[in-house]
Structure formats: C-alpha cells, structure tokens
Amino acid sequence: MAKKVSRRLRELQAKVEQRDYAPLDALALLKETATAKFPEAAEAHIRLGIDPKYTDQQLRTTVALPKGTGNVVRVAVITRGEKVTEASNAGADIVGSEELIDEIFKGRMDFDKLIATPDVMPQVAKLGKLLGPRGLMPSPKGGTVTPDVAAAIAEFKAGKLEYRADRSGIVHVMFGKASFSPEDLLINLKALQESIDRNRPSGAKGRYWRSLYVASTMGPSISVDINALRDMKAEA
C-alpha cells in the first residue's frame, strides 16, 4: 500500500522542479519549503559510487562545519586520572570512569557524543551492543577515541560531525538548521563536499558522486548540481 502524502507536502513538492539546482538556489528553496511547526534541520543525502561491503570502499570520517550544526551537543567523556579534571574543565557535560561505564550499561543515555581515551577502551568495549546501534560507540576514525579530550570536546561542541556511508553507499548528514541563511548553509555543504572528496575510499572506481539531494526535515527533496558545488571555492 502506497504511503499517503499529506496535502502540505504535495504543495511543497509542486514548488520543486525536476532538475539540478544551482547550490545556492537549492538552499534558498530548502528554506522556503521548511514549513513545519518546529525548527527543521537541513539534511544532505548523497549517493556515492561505492559498495561498503568491501573494506576498501567504506567511508566513515568527520567534518567540521564552519557555521556549526545549530544544535547544543551534550558531550560525555569516559577517562581516568587527571584526564577527568581536564575533560570537566574543557566543558564536558558528563565525565566519569568505570562508574560511568556501569551507568551507561544500565541505560544512561543523556548525551549526544561519547568520547573516550585509549586507555579505557578495553572497558568501553562491553558497551558496543548498546552504543553501536545508536551511533555512539567511540572510534578512532570518528575522532572520539583520543588522548586529547579537550580538543575533541571543543570540536564537537563547535560543529564537528561524524558521518558514514550506509550499506547502500548513501551518506545522510544534517548540515545545519533550516533557519540558517542560504549562504551559511552553503558554506557548511561545501565543507561536507570537500570532506567526502578528501576521504574518497581507495577502492572507489568510476564516477564517485552519483547524486546529491538536500531537504529540510519535513520538506521535499531538492536535487543539487554536484559539479557546480565541487567547482566552487570554499569560504571561511
């Protein structure tokens, strides 16, 4: 049975032409179609020419969004010794050692990002089944296993995001809020595009970028001219 499309979404879809939009035009249209009664996110959905079932075609990394995410990021840190004080002083919302591991094991999940120092990872490993499905398991590739907790806390609170390609080779990333200006959204989208290009898997053959769509949380998909985005110069 086909999913019923609401009248609101049908009206918004009618505003979107079936063509590739110039990046700034696409983002202006994203803002125009963000009409939900709550603050919507700006999302990018990128189909890449990769097959993640092969290890040399997997993509998992981070990007620092110059204009931030628009979200308040709650950071938890698992560490021990003097690093506990260092993490607290750096602005971590939750800090602990073995006792925090036990609390998470019992169901505590009041954080958006979990950072761990390498020395506690053997103990954190037991949380894999809990944290993995939620995308919260610390990993070196994601920048969340590090001895430099202060720098990691600052980066994630300022707008650093972890992203990965799903099983079908599609990257889904929230790159700001629909309330951002089109220009600020474009700066963030450009940073994401450069990160994806910079981290192209070694096994990726042929055409790497297949399609790029942007949308607000409850809005219609808008196709973006990938080449126009890649040809742009990044702004600070």
Contact status, residue 40 vs residue 34, Cβ threshold 8 Å: yes
Count CB neighbours of 93 within 10 A: 18
CB neighbour class for 23 (10 Å; exposed up to 12, middle 13-18, buried from 19): buried
CA–CA separation, 196 and 191 (whole Å): 9
Chain region(s) in the chain for CATH 3.40.50.790: 75-158
117-149 pLDDT, tens digit each: 999 999 999 999 999 998 899 999 888 999 999
Angstrom distances, CA of residue 96 to CA of 25, 76, 122, 133: 46, 8, 15, 22
Q: How large is the C-alpha radius of gyration of the chain?
A: 19
Chain region(s) in the chain for CATH 3.30.190.20: 18-69+160-231
CATH value of 75-158 in 3.40.50.300, 1.10.10.60, 3.40.50.150, 3.40.50.790: 3.40.50.790
Q: What is the reported pLDDT for 236?
A: 46
Per CATH, the homologous superfamily of domain 18-69+160-231 is Ribosomal protein L1/L10, rRNA-binding domain (3.30.190.20)
pLDDT in tens, the chain (236 residues): 556 777 888 888 888 999 999 999 999 999 999 998 999 999 999 999 999 999 999 999 999 999 999 988 899 999 999 999 999 999 999 999 999 999 999 999 999 999 999 999 999 999 999 999 988 999 998 889 999 999 999 999 988 988 999 999 999 999 999 999 999 999 999 999 999 999 999 999 999 999 999 999 999 999 999 999 999 976 54
